[in-house]
Each structure stands twice: as structure tokens, then as C-alpha cells.
A and B are shown apart, each in its own frame.
Chain A
């Protein structure tokens, strides 16, 4: 791989890290990481003057993320093709898990507002699963760029 491309990928990973940090801060600020706060955000909370979200409201929030998640995951995962991981079966597992958790992260709010309160846990779990998967992929890419 040309040296300039290696630099571009390394910087892309630095930006990805910033994106993850800002996502965690945003999630914490707007929703919160507890089961109760996720429920309150989507189902409403009279004490905190939080109105319940409608299906259209949830769709409005996730709409830009549907495209952004797809694009971001495509870009970061396609770099794996240039690494040693490409030759192992692990790459398929990482790809399916990444898109799967992203799908859950985006669409669990619809289940929450329709009364499936258990999915508040799934929202938190899928958020952190995606977070750690992106960290793991970034680490694989970092190793590949630096040492292969």
C-alpha cells in the first residue's frame, strides 16, 4: 500500500475515535445509559417534562443515522480487505456483527415505544457492542497499517 494511503487510513481512524467519543457524550447527554433513562427518553417522563416519542419522531431522529451508519461501516470495514484478517473467516463475522448491531441500535426504539420495554436493554447493549466492534476493527487496521 502506498505510504500516503496509510496516512489517510490512520487519520481516518483518529476521526473515528473522535466520532465514537462524541457519540458516547451525546447518548449520555440526550438519553442516558441506564434502563430507566432510555425508557424515559422514549416513553416520556412527566416528572422531567419529557414528552413520549412517536413513531415519526423516532424516524426523524434515526433517518440521518441510517445512511451515516451504512456509509461509515462500509468505509471502515472495506479497509479490512487489505489486511491479514481478509484471509480468515473472522472478517465475515465482524461484518455481520457490525451491521447487525447497527441495525439493532437504530431500530430498537420502535419496539420500545410499542411497549416492548425489555428492548431498552437491547438499545444500550447494541450501542456498546457497535462501539467496541468499531474499536476492534480500528485496532486491527492500526496494526495492519503499522506492522504489515
Chain B
């Protein structure tokens, strides 16, 4: 988190390419996450429902409880690390504070909602599935925006 203490990141020969690399990798992760989920877990309500609960007519087995818990446990870990890093970079590069706080709140709340509602869908009631899908897309879109905006600020803003 040394970048939070540097006065002008644009003039820093080391931190500017390091942060650019980090942001680029975060963008690639977000895109890859959607692609991997689409091919394995599903990203739309009916696909996720099929993965979680299976379908007797199509002989599709539901996901086991331990597999589901392993999946969500890893999701939480990756999400918390990515969101903490990205929000710290975004907060440093965005000079309009109320605006950056609003964006960070939307990203974090939607990510938390997606994790909680996925758990509720599996353990409590499948009616939470639409909230999960909505929040899943929200956090992907908002974090993509945060990463792209930070990259733009890093390269095209007068001073950051």
C-alpha cells in the first residue's frame, strides 16, 4: 500500500507501471471470472439453479454440500483480496471523495450481496437466485469501471 503515500503517482517511475500491471490483471481476472463461471457454474438464473439443484429429468446431479462450501469459501477469499486492493487504488486515484466512496460502496455491497444470496439460495430458498445474478453482474460491472477509471487516471490525468 506504499502507493497511498506517494504524492504524484504519474511522476513515479516504479509505481505507475506496477499499478498499471495490477489494474490490467484485475480487469483480465474479472473478464475470465465471467467466462469460467459461464462454462462451469452458470451466470444466469436457470443455469445456476441447474448447477445447485440438478435436474432429475435430465439426470443432472445437484452440487454436493461440501463442493458448494469449498466453492463459496474460495470465492469469498479471492473477492475480498481483489476488492480491497482495487478499492485502495481507486480511492487513491479518484480525487472526488464522495463519488469514490459511492462507487466503493456499490462494488462492496453488491459483492457481499452476491455471496450471501448465493448461500441463501442453496441453504434457504431458491427465490434469492435473481438477487444473486443481479448482484453478480453489478459487482463485475462496477469493479471493471473502477479498474478502467483508475487506469485512465494513471495515464491521462494531469496529476494524481
Contact = CB atoms under 8 A, between A and B. Distances in A.
B77 A68 contact: yes
A32 to B, nearest CB: 12
Interface string A1-21: 011110110011011101100
A12 B69 contact: no
Contacts, number: 75
Contacts of B112: 11, 14-15, 18
A4 B89 CA distance: 10
Nearest to B94: A4
A141 to B, nearest CB: 13
A15 B83 contact: yes
Contact of B104 (A4, A22, A23, A75): A4
Nearest to A14: B112
A12 B84 contact: yes
Contacts of A87: none
23 contacts: A2-B97, A3-B101, A4-B87, A4-B91, A4-B97, A4-B101, A5-B88, A7-B101, A8-B83, A8-B84, A12-B80, A12-B84, A14-B108, A14-B112, A15-B84, A15-B112, A23-B73, A25-B69, A26-B66, A30-B66, A68-B77, A71-B81, A75-B81
Interface of B: 4, 65-66, 69-70, 72-73, 76-77, 79-81, 83-84, 87-88, 90-91, 94, 97, 100-101, 104-105, 108, 111-112, 115-116, 119
